[in-house]
Structure 1
């Protein structure tokens, strides 16, 4: 009986990909929402595992989605917009090139994002499963 117990314990304690270990960047993958979101105003960032992102914002009729790819260097997140990915050409096209700081609380743009209809500088918190 004890001969079988030791291999089972070793199997349970061994680090393996099957136990849910993920590359470092996968900890960032998910949906983030601005702490300044309100009824008709939002700023949301969606980071995907394939290193693509979608950033969406809305204030009344001023709304858009921007997509591209993301990467990290140190404690900074960089968003690289794909060309011509905005869906609404009537408004200012924001420049997301400024880095975002990765913190324990979430992601924060290091400079205000000028979205045309409002400026966004608030921390974006990760949406937890079940919320």
Structure 2
């Protein structure tokens, strides 16, 4: 009886594992190198929206009515480094590493951290134009 149950469950389990391992998420990073974007995040229980325009080598973002500019240095098609042009304190002097994890339609999910920092955060960006 044991071998009968093992055989009946083993094949479907292996088949399910094989099929799920073949799934690969879309990564059309080149579609998101330039344009106008929006990023929403929750800070202290309130939703905040950042809008930014990215060219091949610059990013101009507006957050809470303040505009800031950063240089963009692409490491590869899906990863880039942001460095603020006019940092106001030591924290803003730190470069930020950005990595596009996957894309879908007009959005991309990304991971970011200060360069050299172990703690990574994730976010979702929507391309407006």
The TM-score, its normalising length taken from structure 1, stands at: 0.46
The TM-score, its normalising length taken from structure 2, stands at: 0.47
More strand by share: 2
More helix by share: 2
